[in-house]
Amino acid sequence: MKELLNQFAAYNVWANQKITEAILALPEEKQKEEIPSSFNSIYRTVLHMWDAETAWWQRMKLHERIIVPSENFSGSMRDVTNGLMQQNQQWLDWTSSTSDNMLEHVFQYQNSKKEQFKQPIYQMVLHVFNHGTYHRGQLVNMLRQLGVDKIPQTDFIVWSRKK
């Protein structure tokens, strides 16, 4: 399990780096242009990705109050992508050094609706990386709607071939 999660963590860093390079090449007005999606701009989607990874990190670390970056954030897209990449690196560092026992550890947390759950940490970590994949797919669609034709491939299989 540990090796698989470590691969997903490394893949997550690589894939987010690829997609954010394409995003940062856009003018700021395109990054914030409203586009129909779960979050109505590329900027808001990437900010949500950072929020989600940060929230799960804090839940795993048993923080009583979850503080997400968007609560007090007004930075640029570069600031958002830097924050996301730092959080991605934290996950990679953690998966590299954690034990199998820690991955199996069942922890209790509450979601944003204050509902209580108990799950093994490995399930939560898999969710974090799957969540990133889901939103990268949305970002690809949003980039296409903005007329971007050079979109990087961010599939796991592409990353695994380069390993």
Query: What is the SS3 assignment for 38?
Result: coil
Q: Which residue has the tokens 């491939």?
A: 153
Segment 83-107, tens digit of pLDDT: 999 999 999 999 999 999 999 999 9
- Count of structural domains within the chain: 1
CATH of the domain at 63: 1.20.120.450
Segment 112-158, tens digit of pLDDT: 898 999 999 999 999 999 999 999 999 999 999 999 999 999 999 99
* Residue-number span of the structural domain to which 91 is assigned: 2-162
* pTM across the whole model: 0.95
